[in-house]
Chains A and B, each alone.
Chain A
Amino acid sequence: MDKMKGKWEKKFSVLMLVSMLVLALSAWTLAAAQPTFGGTLRVGTLSDPDTLNVLQSNSVSASWILNLMYPSLMVMNEAGDKVPYLAKEWGYSPDGLTAWFELRDDVKWEDGTPITSKDVKFTAEVTVNHKIGFNASLLADVKEIRTPSPTRVEFALSEPYGPFLASVGFWLRVVPEHIWKDVEDPKRFPNTNPVGAGPFKLVKYEIGQYYELEAVDSWFDAPAGRPYLDKVFFKVYPDINTMILALQRGDIDIVANPIPPAAAARLKATPGIKTAQTASLGYVYFTFNQHREQSKALQDVRVRKAIAHAVNEEMIRAMVLRGNAKDVAVAVSPVLGSWHNPNVKSYEYDPEKAKAILDEAGYKDTNGDGVRETPSGDKLSFELLYDGGNANIAKAMKMVADDLQKVGIGVTHVALERNGYLAQFRKLDYDIAAGGWGIMDEPADYLYLLYHSSTYGPDGINRSGINDPELDELIDEARRALDDKKAKEYVWKVQERLKELVPEVHLWVETYILAYRDNFAGYGVYPSDLRGMVDPQSLVRVYKVK
């Protein structure tokens, strides 16, 4: 009997021990997972902000710092959708002629003044009146701005324009009216002592060396009420190799710029360092000039289709970017989530098919020199214009040229240094030209600028000069649509039509590698190097772990 009792006692004590261990373990894990306040995050950057004038600034590195200091109405989430930030809600009037934002009422500037619709109206008006930057173009068609309440801003438009709210919401950073109204020339204002509103505020900086930002006491987007971090430092290292060494040594905790693929492999193997990936909101492509006598053959869609089949995109992505790229069929990046039509795929690499198409269309090599002739006897040969200084594009275009030559299309390289290339590109002086876009965030808006027949010309960005009534109609509908769902339907149809028309061949969407140390956690990874891991939404959640 005693022996049995002993056995049960033993089992019982073992059970007790185990449960205590489990409890202790869960308590410990929970405690460890609970972010604590404190810590200074040191971010490495290749360059200083171009300027602290948030209205005039036009550089990616400046944005990393300025986005922490000045709020926009919307931000982009990790899935590529635009979501509320300073603005809680937005919409159009039924006739589409008024676009409105409803702002949060609980956000204040650094000096305690509440942010109101007055600030938004002021920022928009200053931008338009002084024609400051890209935003001035976005706001050009606004007839009037009204502020019926401290939290409501209304823009009176001259005609309904679907992408208006999302474009302005994403790009316009709001400045305090009570400070900037006394600035004589907002365009020349260096803004050396900024007063902003954000999860962090700039307290000290020395140009060329560092920018010191301190957490504010309360910020609406911080899950704990205020950022976990006490401070964020941006340190400037003009040389990427030096910056990588600094990360390895622990002088900085994260590098804001994308890491070159060659260095990334080395970093991944370093203990204490992790990497993450984000994709660009832009893409690289080459376009066909369909308005030139000497390249008349490009007006034949079969020639363009054949070229699309002839190019081995996957190989190019593997060789040039070491695979750090995504396929992109037409001008809507897969990064843009629900805007991207997954049913529209790139033309498969099929050189035999390319040859067959050209044969059937009457482009044959009649004199056996390896280059086909058009039915009218001209050589099927094109000039390839590109930026010779851009290593990736130059490499890619050489591979494209090889692919084209393999199917009997002749190629002449016109590789110029950047400024020369840009000059010719703008003047539409090319047969085929390679190019790249950095950030294309609003398809209903930019598809118009790129492919509508009315936007062709040296002033705009329409490089292909395609003139297709059906495409025009679809693009117009997408722009007129006042709700996202409808706009997306049309944007999907635009993508289908673009595949049929082949105005351009899209080579890749670049993916960026971001490197950071494991002493901080909680990062979010946002699309494009413009946002990346130092987006304000990410930094409010980052906390120190060791």
Chain B
Amino acid sequence: MLVSVTLTFVILRLMPGDPAEVLVDPRMTAEVRAQLLADFGLDKPLWQQYFIYMANLLKGNLGISFKTLLPVMQIISTRIWWTILLMGVSFVVTLIVGIPLGVLAAVRRDSAVDRLITAVSIFGNAIFVPWLAISLLYLFGYLLPVFPIGGAVEIGAVGWERIKSIMYHLVLPVSSLLIINLARYVLFLRTSMVEVLQEDYVRTAQAKGVRGGVIVYKHALRNAFLPTLTMMGLQLGYLVGGAVLTETVYAYPGVGRLIYESVKQHDYPVLQGTFIVLALAVIVANILTDLFYSLLDPRVRFD
């Protein structure tokens, strides 16, 4: 954790360009510019800035945004829930769609079905995210005006209307993310399944007369799932970073879009804060993955 924070700090500071550039109007006099730098502590030597930052961090203070002048913690905490919602829903949907597809592709290996599934997955993986997002918006938001164009919720909606509105606004972004992320789960799972289905114990079960479905789901999948689980765990941490491009195109007010906007505006405190939260999320996700692993695989236990 310490390493992540330190690295983030140093890298951001070493980036070319004076952070004061963005804050400063070229017509300002030298004194005004100097004052601006002093206000944000950018005139102190780097090591001093570092220690001040670490001290604040331990107090839970992520600093103040250069631009909005609001506390970084506040900015991130308002937006993080949208990202968690978007990513959470998309994660679950991708699993629900991805696992059966992966299994199907493995079981019907080399058939037309398998080839179709594989092709679609690779397509989704290779596609340019903003293009996909805009295309979906164009097709289902404009040509067939079924879904809203951007945003997370209808302004001013309350109660049940609000919940419905949020769901409506989720459909297109989640569909985008589904198409993009499908490849990972489908292809990964398919490969593991294919391997597992060739294992001895599977053939034993078949010989014993166990029904196909049971073999596939109870025995094979459980084992094939392990590598996929590891990958999911790694993904979980990045969920919080959000799909930057997706959130931006869909005008979804999450943390991913926050990163994009802060980079554009050189808002270092916000960027730093977001990276720290990201690092934390990855660490937590890894811990959770390990715990889950032990549940699935009785061979793994913590001492």
Say how far A245's CB is from chain B's closest CB, in angstroms. 5
Q: Quick one: which of B150, B153, B261 has the most chain A CB within 10 A?
A: B150
User: Does A133 lie within 8 Å of B28, measured CB to CB?
Assistant: yes
**CB within 8 Å of A: which B237-276 residues:** 248-251, 253, 257-258, 260-261, 265
Q: Distance (Å) between the CB of A404 and the closest chain B CB?
A: 27
Cα–Cα, bound, A206→B151 (Å): 12
Contact present for A242 and B25 (CB under 8 Å): no
A36 at the interface (CB under 8 A from B): no
Whether the pair A422, B25 counts as a contact (CB closer than 8 A) is: no
With known contacts A131-B36, A236-B251, A51–B151 Cβ distance under 8 A: no
Residues of chain B within 8 A (CB-CB) of A140 are: 29, 31
Question: Which residues from B are CB-within-8-Å of A133?
Answer: 25, 28, 32
B266 closest partner in A (C-beta)? A419
Is there an interface contact between B75 and A207, defined as CB atoms closer than 8 Å?
A: yes
Residues of B near A461 (CB, < 8 A) are: 26-27
**Central interface residue in B29, B68, B142, by most chain A CB within 10 Å:** B68
Give the distance in Å from the alpha carbon of A51 to the alpha carbon of B65 in the complex: 10
A420-B16, A420-B17 as given contacts; A249 in contact with B68, CB under 8 Å: no
Cβ of A237 < 8 Å from any Cβ of B?
Answer: yes
Nearest B residue (CB) for A137: B29
Q: Across the interface, do A190 and B251 meet the contact criterion of CB distance under 8 Å?
A: no
The answer to whether B17 touches A245, judged by C-beta atoms less than 8 angstroms apart, is no
B20 CB, min distance to chain A CBs, angstroms: 11
Chain B nearest CB from A274 CB (Å) reads 19
Judged by a CB distance under 8 angstroms, whether A288 is at the interface is: no
Q: Is the CB of A237 within 8 A of B251?
A: yes
Shortest CB-to-CB span from B5 to chain A, Å, is 24
Task: Give the most central of A136, A209, A423: most B CB within 10 Å.
Answer: A209
* Residues 145-171 (chain B) with a chain A CB within 8 angstroms: 145, 148-153, 155
Q: Does A28 contact B (CB under 8 A)?
A: no
Bound-state CA distance A418–B36 (Å) is 21
Chain A contacts for B69, CB-based, 8 A: 51, 53, 56, 188-190
A449 contacts partner chain B, Cβ-Cβ < 8 Å: yes
B248 neighbours in A (Cβ, 8 Å): 238-239
> Contact: A207 with B149, CB < 8 Å?
no
- The answer to the question of B226 belonging to the interface, with a C-beta cut-off of 8 Å to chain A, is no
A265 smallest CB distance to B (angstroms): 17
Interface contact A137-B68, CB-CB below 8 Å:
no
Chain B's interface size range is 35 or more
Output the nearest chain B residue to A209 by Cβ-Cβ distance: B253
Q: Of B16, B78, B138, B249, which contacts A419 at CB under 8 A? A: B16
Contacts known (A53-B69, A58-B23); A239 close to B155, Cβ less than 8 A: no
Among B18, B31, B78, B138, point to the contact of A207 (Cβ < 8 A). Answer: B78
| A206 / chain B contacts, CB cutoff of 8 Å | 253
Q: Are A136 and B134 neighbours in the complex by a CB distance under 8 Å?
A: no
How many residues in A have their beta carbons less than 8 Å from beta carbons of B? 50
**A190 engages B68 (CB within 8 Å):** yes
Cβ contacts under 8 Å, B251 to chain A: 209, 235-239, 242
Contacts of B149 on A, CB cut-off 8 Å? Answer: 242, 245-246, 249, 251
Q: Would A136 and B28 count as touching, CB distance under 8 A? A: yes
Q: Is B88 an interface residue (CB 8 A)?
A: no
B residues less than 8 Å from A235 (CB atoms): 151, 155, 251
Least CB distance from B216 to A in Å reads 42
Q: What residues of A have a CB within 8 angstroms of the CB of B153 in the complex?
A: 209
Is B303 an interface residue, CB under 8 A from the partner?
no
B137 in contact (CB, < 8 A)? yes
Contacts of B17 in A (CB 8 A): 418-420, 422-423
Complex CA gap A32/B255 in Å reads 47
CB atoms of B155 and A238 under 8 A apart? no
Contacts of B151 on A, CB cut-off 8 Å? Answer: 209, 235
Chain A CB within 8 A of B39 CB = yes
A241 beta carbon closer than 8 Å to chain B: yes
**Inter-chain contacts of B250 with A (CB < 8 A):** 242
Determine if B253 and A137 form an interchain contact, defined as CB atoms under 8 angstroms apart. Answer: no
Q: Chain B residues with Cβ under 8 A from A134's Cβ?
A: 25, 27-28, 32
Measured between C-beta atoms, what is the minimum distance from A329 to chain B in Å? 23
Q: Does B21 contact A (CB under 8 A)?
A: yes
Chain A residue numbers with a CB within 8 Å of B75 are 207
- B134 near A241 (CB under 8 angstroms)? yes
Q: Can you report 18 residue pairs joining A to B where beta carbons are below 8 Å apart?
A: A53-B69, A56-B69, A130-B35, A131-B32, A133-B28, A187-B39, A189-B69, A208-B257, A209-B253, A210-B155, A236-B251, A238-B249, A239-B134, A242-B150, A245-B138, A246-B149, A251-B150, A419-B18
B residues lining the A interface (CB < 8 Å): 15-18, 21, 23, 25-32, 35-36, 39, 64, 67-70, 75, 78-79, 130, 134, 137-138, 141-142, 145, 148-153, 155, 248-251, 253, 257-258, 260-261, 265
